[in-house]
Structure 1
Amino acid sequence: MRSTRRGRRLIATALGLGLATAGLVPATANGATGTTGARAAERGADVPYTEYEAEDGTYKGTLLEAEPTRPFGHTNFATESSGRTSVRLGSTGDHIEFTSKNATNSIVVRNSIPDAPGGGGQEKTLSLYADGKFVQKVTLSSKHSWLYGSTDDPEGLTNRPGGDARRLFDESHALLKDSYPQGTKFRLQRDADDDAAFYVVDLVDLEQVAPPAAKPAECTSITEYGAKPDDGEDDTKAIQAAVTADQKGEIECVWIPAGRWRQEQKILTVDPKYPGSPYNQVGIRDVTIRGAGMWHSQLYTLTPPQDAGGINHPHEGNFGFDIDDNTQISDVAIFGSGTIRGGDGGQEGGVGLNGRFGKNTKIKNVWIEHANVAAWVGRDYSNIPDLWNPGDGLEFSGMRIRNTYADGVNFSNGTRNSTVSNSSFRNTGDDSLAVWANKYVKDPATDVGHDNTFTGNTVQLPWRANGIAVYGGHGNKIEKNLISDTMNYPGIMLATDHDPLPFSGQTLIADNGLYRTGGAFWGEQQEFGAITLFAQGQNIPGVTIRDTDIHDSTYDGIQFKSGGGATPDVKIDNVKISRSNNGAGIRAHGGARGNAALCDVTITDSADGDVLVEPGSQFAVKEGCATK
């Protein structure tokens, strides 16, 4: 049973783990956002848009604020809101209004409108004004939101209305006809003909989108293979033909011009060489695909993956690209048709980018939305063994990943020496970023996920699981990221669940900012810290956590979770933890084993005390500056 706060404080005091003996120094609490100083300014992605929280402007409507424990899964809009607050527009004339800090010709609205009575979503409009003048209607949709059920099993939810709901928000985006200067007063207003039962507005992004890029001279357009933009017809054959031509060396580069291009089959290598495989899982290689910009060159699908038929694996879907080696993709958008992760007959949303990935693959400035997983890197060795080619030196940068039903980017199957940098993630349905050093590899002794780096990324609002996670491996780094508003799991987690290959060597968590992270899950019986180390069976050695700010955590700041393994010799250096709302600054569970050395750690305003080692724990916390 969960002990009371008073009991926990008494335990911490009895063990003598106060500020002086734990290597901590006094500090004042950070400000409301927790982002202070030059160090904070260097974290996160350098995104081209400016984000505006609905509640930070002026508004007429109802302010929604999360409860102290930020409960998830109970049709709770505030818990799923950025900053844990949003604004409900319930009546004609209700609005949010803010003044732009930058010129803009586009808008993204993170919002929630009701599902259709029988499920499947609906479209409604909201009115956009600039300096008091009507600009246009913004079309909002609930097609991709609203999952129902009380289970935390991701495969157990349904699209059929009934009972508690989660994944309440989605996003709508539009290019505007005109560009508006800095200082424009924008208003999103519910007019008389905006007739949804309610609108909840969480945030708005404004961006000055550059004009479409011109076709490089060396590239060949998909229009030369019969593709036509904006006509609603399937362009898959033309896109596949262009990619195949590039792969054969007949052209130098595939060009996707500005326009909306419908794609109803995944682009891969059409190769009958492997009849023993139940599905064609041969990816493309030696291909370069370029677009006119993610706002301009947009691939989309309308067919649910389970209805696509043909040559695609049902788990991986009917859109995007299957990649095996030496592929570059840049400046395009890939929009799926997913509505769920698993339930209702296995109607998964598919994967935007998947495959073995191999070497010399670079993915840059790609927007992926409404997929099950945005990018899954790796295939099991047993899947066509002679094509085994794990990701090595892979680079993702400038990614914009939104509103998935599972992971953002997962480095699996022995991925090594690879990076995700300067990318933004919002509303993923599992880990936004992960290294999973799984065992389904050619040689478990050497094919371990290692030396991967997640650096300079912005992660917001994962509606299930972690902001960033590492499961096994060595030499992996999590650096200079901003992570905020996880619904139910840590901002950063190192864990040995999912049966990975062991951790070894070093794992570095450095110079990150975590705000309003952690939460309760699995029937609300497990409370996770902002940073959690979970040695479920195997040990997690060699961990360093340094130069990091943890603010406004739902539960603990740093948590060592009970498990069968240990977390020995953890180093925690120059870490600031403020306002652990329903937990301790640092907590070791009763079943935790291992030890941590603290140096220059400051903890303030934690509900359950600064450092708390629960009864029965075999975990030791000590001052560790002498070994710095």
Structure 2
Amino acid sequence: MFLERSRLTAALVAGLSLAVGAAGTAHATGKPQVPVKVTRAALDPALVAGRGASVAFQEQEAENAATNGTVIGPDRTAYTLPAEASGRTAVKLAPGQWVEFTLPKAANAITVRYSIPDAPTGGGSTAPLAVKVRNTTRTLMLTSQYSWLYNQYPFSNDPNAGLLHPDWWITECACVPAATTPAPAITTPFRPSHFYDEQRLLLGATYQAGEKVRLTASAGAAWTVVDLLDSELVGPPKVTLLAANVLLFGADPTGRRDSGPAFDKAIAFARKAKLKVYVPPGVFQVNRHIVVDDVTIEGAGNWYTIIKGHEIALSTPAPDKSTHLGVGFYGANSRNVHLSGFAIEGDVRERIDIDQVNGIGGAMSDSTIDGLYLHHTKVGLWFDGPMSNVKVTDNVIVDQIADGLNFHTGVTDSLVKNNFLRNTGDDALAMWAEGTTNANNTFDHNTVQTPVLANGIAIYGGSNNTVSGNLIADPIREGSALHAGSRFGAEPFTGFLKFTDNTTVRSGTYELNWNIGLGAIWLYALEKNIDADIQVVGDNFLDNTYNAIMMVADWPVKDLYSITNTHFKNIKIDGTGTSVLSARVAGATTFENVDARNVGAVGVNNCGTFHFTPAGSEFTVTDLGGNYGGWLAPWQLPNTLTCDDRPPVVAPPAPAAW
């Protein structure tokens, strides 16, 4: 299993140094300083310029800050704390230890991404974290109630549980492929994952660039890991006067009473009066779906208006088979729904796939979802078509048990743009054409960080869809950054699928089930041929753990399905642990103007369908010219067998400017 190269952590500058003061001027101090380092996806922002979402906050990695704690990582080994951290590195604090960030810009709010231990029997624990700015100390209450899953899919909250599926292959038992029954002795906790959570805090005042934010761990937890801090200058709450204010219909802004009925009444009144619904600052308890149709609901801003629910177990399953209720806004073949400016705080602590406990759900055509903060729901947004013309923009979707957003069946002519997603428990962004195709949709300029399971962006079937301008970093396991797969009963790919101008970072993960490395972008033929026009143009694949590109068929169907009509053009690849292309399928691809450097093994690892015929591989590579870096040698064309099932890994250097 690949361990990332060791990197030097940020060193303290000895002696006198220059620090940026509150007024923005430089002055000398006698205290060693750590340079202020703002990153995007744990990289210099210049390396990912123009890619991903434009966000209001400044990201600072804990390993770049001053600390008397211990830097953990870098490490990309699944089921470890460093692997799930942004940049695969974090800072571990014992009680009383601290990490101190210097604000790069004026801020009045912070988000802390952290991990603390689970309770010994599961279910989570809580511990305070001291947040000191100037002479003011506030308490941020940390919890592990929404993290720490164990075992095989669909996972368990019990760290001491035995295997959920004793007949499944377990690679950790070294029993594959000789047997499908694992060894009886499994070390518990088995496969711990989903370690991190994040909490937001309004600081109560605006602090200037150069001021310090010190986070000090308490004795309430044996250890506290801090991954990063986001700092932000939040504007004042938005006030909408000409609207149906939910307070007038009995909503409780203290969160003590259930406000669900008040929301229903406000929505009904607003529809008749042709007004918006306004939700002012406060915490509003809602423990079920709010059904929306032909209505606009505006909050005061997602830092101020918080709609928070408990997860409630049902005595008998609901008509949709759910066994729990949870907070969410749902369309029922709805139209003209507009939701903006509030947070949805769920209470989902286990993965139950039949439960509809998502932040936004159902079908809502000609609608907009804008400026929401979605936290601790099962899926941030799960849409079941048919529906068309929905725009999902400028949202923050974090700490989900499953997907961030999924266009599931019959979603057309829709846009997902400028959203920020972190720590999803499955695909961060997905189009899944199960039963009915998805068509003419675009995922554009979104940022995805640290999806714990599966892929950053995944497309399962569909027609004429586009994935453009996105930034995807640090996928952990059983998936990678960009994916197209004939899987999960999806309709075939038809027309075109475009992956254009995306950047991936620290992707190309290790696939535990197959015991091989994936590609940062990987195409997978499992249930059908993939023969639509797939264009990968203008993408950058940086610091790939294994391969930059992979095309693969599952072993039992490798002689049934192929991947053809794929085209790579104007690509930059900086660093692969193994190859630029790993081909483990029949089919064909073309390369034009693909520039690759720091390639760990052979540029093209061509296994075809593993028949090793005298005629060469069943996969054909065509050189259309302009390929640079020596990775695509003439002797490899068109179908030379260069197969190494598990080539040695050479860790690449850190990405650099081209």
Say if 2:277 is the partner of 1:254. Answer: yes
Q: Which amino acid aligns with 1:298?
A: I
Contact 1:327 1:360 in 2 (8 A): yes
State how 1:298-447 maps to structure 2 within 5 Å. Answer: 298-304=306-312, 306=314, 314=322, 317-323=325-331, 324-342=334-352, 350-357=357-364, 359-379=365-385, 390-439=386-435, 441=436
Contact 1:35 1:513 in 2 (8 A): no
Task: Provide the C-alpha distance between the structure 1 equivalents of 2:325 and 2:413, rounded to a whole number of angstroms.
Answer: 27
Corresponding residue for residue 280 of structure 1: none
224, 227, 233: which one pairs with 1:199? 224
Contact 1:145 1:339 in 2 (8 A): yes
Instruction: Compute the TM-score of the two structures, normalised by the length of structure 2.
Output: 0.79
533, 537, 548: which one pairs with 2:539? 548
Corresponding residue for residue 592 of structure 2: 599
Contact 2:593 2:626 in 1 (8 A): no
Task: Provide the C-alpha distance between the structure 2 equivalents of 1:395 and 1:401, rounded to a whole number of angstroms.
Answer: 15
221, 225, 241: which one pairs with 2:249? 225
Corresponding residue for residue 189 of structure 2: 163
465, 476, 484: which one pairs with 2:465? 476
1:22-73 residue CA offsets vs partner (Å, 9 max, x unmatched): xxxxxxxxx99676768x3111111111111000112111111143xx2213
Change (3 A) 1:600 1:114: same
Corresponding residue for residue 19 of structure 2: none
Corresponding residue for residue 487 of structure 2: 497
Say if 2:83 is the partner of 1:79. Answer: yes
Corresponding residue for residue 148 of structure 2: 146
Corresponding residue for residue 613 of structure 1: 606
Change (3 A) 1:56 1:37: closer
Contact 2:535 2:568 in 1 (8 A): yes
Contact 2:310 2:326 in 1 (8 A): no
Change (3 A) 1:397 1:36: closer
Deviation at 1:565, TM superposition (A): 2.2
Change (3 A) 1:348 1:53: farther
Q: Which amino acid aligns with 2:515?
A: Q
Say if 2:98 is the partner of 1:61. Answer: no
199, 216, 220: which one pairs with 1:189? 216
Say if 2:554 is the partner of 1:529. Answer: no
Deviation at 1:98, TM superposition (A): 2.0
How many residue pairs were aligned? 545
CA RMSD across the alignment = 2.4
Corresponding residue for residue 174 of structure 1: 201
Corresponding residue for residue 451 of structure 2: 462
Task: Provide the C-alpha distance between the structure 2 equivalents of 1:309 and 1:183, rounded to a whole number of angstroms.
Answer: 54
1:568-620 residue CA offsets vs partner (Å, 9 max, x unmatched): 12111111112212x2111111xx12111111111222222222212634111
Deviation at 1:304, TM superposition (A): 3.8
Task: Provide the C-alpha distance between the structure 1 equivalents of 2:318 and 2:281, rounded to a whole number of angstroms.
Answer: 28
Change (3 A) 1:330 1:562: same
1:483-514 residue CA offsets vs partner (Å, 9 max, x unmatched): 00000111000000112111111110010110
263, 284, 289: which one pairs with 1:239? 263
Task: Provide the C-alpha distance between the structure 2 equivalents of 1:45 and 1:350, rounded to a whole number of angstroms.
Answer: 26
Unaligned runs of 5+ in 1: 3-30, 269-283, 380-389, 442-447
The 3-state SS of whatever aligns with 2:495 is coil
Task: Provide the C-alpha distance between the structure 2 equivalents of 1:209 and 1:33, rounded to a whole number of angstroms.
Answer: 23
1:148-174 residue CA offsets vs partner (Å, 9 max, x unmatched): 22x2x2x24334555131101111111
Deviation at 1:224, TM superposition (A): 0.9
Say if 2:496 is the partner of 1:506. Answer: yes
Corresponding residue for residue 451 of structure 1: 440
Task: Provide the C-alpha distance between the structure 1 equivalents of 2:41 and 2:439, rounded to a whole number of angstroms.
Answer: 37
The 3-state SS of whatever aligns with 2:472 is strand
1:384-443 residue CA offsets vs partner (Å, 9 max, x unmatched): xxxxxx22111000110000111111111110110100100000111111111111x4xx
Contact 1:491 1:514 in 2 (8 A): yes
Contact 1:427 1:460 in 2 (8 A): yes
Say if 2:609 is the partner of 1:586. Answer: no
Contact 1:327 1:362 in 2 (8 A): yes
Change (3 A) 1:186 1:512: same
Say if 2:132 is the partner of 1:129. Answer: yes
Say if 2:103 is the partner of 1:100. Answer: yes
Q: Which amino acid aligns with 2:123?
A: G
Deviation at 1:231, TM superposition (A): 4.2
Q: Which amino acid aligns with 2:582?
A: R
The 3-state SS of whatever aligns with 2:63 is helix
Task: Provide the C-alpha distance between the structure 2 equivalents of 1:461 and 1:297, rounded to a whole number of angstroms.
Answer: 27
The 3-state SS of whatever aligns with 1:224 is helix
Task: Provide the C-alpha distance between the structure 2 equivalents of 1:313 and 1:178, rounded to a whole number of angstroms.
Answer: 47
Change (3 A) 1:340 1:524: farther
Task: Provide the C-alpha distance between the structure 2 equivalents of 1:552 and 1:226, rounded to a whole number of angstroms.
Answer: 54
Change (3 A) 1:507 1:211: same
Say if 2:570 is the partner of 1:574. Answer: yes
Task: Provide the C-alpha distance between the structure 2 equivalents of 1:309 and 1:235, rounded to a whole number of angstroms.
Answer: 23
Task: Provide the C-alpha distance between the structure 1 equivalents of 2:324 and 2:311, rounded to a whole number of angstroms.
Answer: 14
Corresponding residue for residue 279 of structure 1: none
Q: Which amino acid aligns with 1:163?
A: P
Once the two structures are aligned, what percentage of the paired residues are identical? 30
Change (3 A) 1:316 1:587: farther
Deviation at 1:240, TM superposition (A): 1.5
Q: Which amino acid aligns with 2:132?
A: Y
Q: Which amino acid aligns with 1:360?
A: D
Contact 1:613 1:619 in 2 (8 A): yes
Task: Provide the C-alpha distance between the structure 2 equivalents of 1:536 and 1:462, rounded to a whole number of angstroms.
Answer: 22
Change (3 A) 1:477 1:523: same
Deviation at 1:524, TM superposition (A): 5.8
Deviation at 1:347, TM superposition (A): 9.2
Contact 1:304 1:347 in 2 (8 A): no
The range that moved more, 293-302 or 614-623, is: 614-623
The 3-state SS of whatever aligns with 1:55 is helix
1:288-335 residue CA offsets vs partner (Å, 9 max, x unmatched): 111100011110012345579888862684211111222100001111
Say if 2:495 is the partner of 1:485. Answer: no
The 3-state SS of whatever aligns with 1:148 is coil
Change (3 A) 1:88 1:484: same
Deviation at 1:623, TM superposition (A): 0.9
Higher relative contact order (CA 8 A, sep 6+): 1
Contact 1:127 1:134 in 2 (8 A): no
Task: Provide the C-alpha distance between the structure 2 equivalents of 1:315 and 1:550, rounded to a whole number of angstroms.
Answer: 42
Unaligned runs of 5+ in 2: 2-39, 161-187, 555-559, 611-616, 628-658
